[in-house]
Structure 1
Amino acid sequence: MSPTRVLCRVEDIPDSGALAVRIDSATGGFEIILLRQGDRVFGYHNECPHQGRNLDYVPGKFLIRNGSIICAAHGATFAVASGDCLAGPCRSGLLRVPLQVEDGEVRAP
């Protein structure tokens, strides 16, 4: 089994809300958005495929309504559970980050 890193605890993410987490890497790192629906947690790169801008309207604050996350820049709308583009100026969905939830911790490879 490959090593994983703890990103946060499930309860750190508001239910039906989001949390931004920075992942360090050899190329400088990137930010992911963790979205929670009950016990389920979904992770995506914090980048809208429309123009590559962050999804948040201010760092760490996201527009989330009715199971969708909305890009603050141009209104592209994505399904929280799948990352699929639902509406607005997007031709593809969000880039998923693989996650594991274990003992109340959200982990990434």
Structure 2
Amino acid sequence: MKYLCDSAALIEGKSLGFDVDELKILAVRRAGQVYAYANRCPHRGVALEWRADEFLDASASLIQCATHGALFLIESGECVAGPCEGKSLRAIDCGEDAQGIWINPVEAD
């Protein structure tokens, strides 16, 4: 497991971006649970964020691609609207303990 960040850094309803071993990752906390995905749109292969650490739509209920507006479920990474509908973000196995948020080592695409 690789350390991602302190738990307090990822507050409810917010997202953060990270570079871990040459892989760009986004992490989101929703309903107390942490979700992590490769920061790569399945449609164009581009990074998703609007600005640094901003991956969510205006309601903070969906991950949104800044390039073409595709919307992804936070809980599963599935695209529910946009040109990549039916595809999904690549989930990154993650966990949280008293020391912080961790991810399992992964290879870059």
TM-score (norm 1): 0.85
List aligned pairs for 1:73-92, cutoff 5 A. Answer: 73-91=67-85, 92=87
Report the identity percentage: 30
Is residue 2:69 matched to residue 1:72?
no
How has the CA–CA distance of structure 1 residues 87 and 17 changed in structure 2, closer, same or farther, with 3 Å as cutoff? same
Q: CA RMSD in A?
A: 1.4
Separation of aligned partners in 2, 1:104 and 1:41: 14
TM-score (norm 2): 0.85
Separation of aligned partners in 1, 2:36 and 2:88: 13
Tell me how many residue pairs correspond in the alignment: 102
Contact 1:16 1:36 in 2 (8 A): yes
Is residue 2:46 matched to residue 1:49?
no
Shift of residue 59, structure 1, vs aligned partner: 3.0
Separation of aligned partners in 1, 2:15 and 2:60: 13
List aligned pairs for 1:94-109, cutoff 5 A. Answer: 94-103=89-98, 105-109=100-104
Separation of aligned partners in 2, 1:104 and 1:39: 16
Q: Indicate the residue corresponding to 2:53 in structure 1.
A: 60
Unpaired segments of 5 or more residues in structure 2?
105-109
Shift of residue 30, structure 1, vs aligned partner: 1.3
Q: Indicate the residue corresponding to 1:6 in structure 2.
A: 3
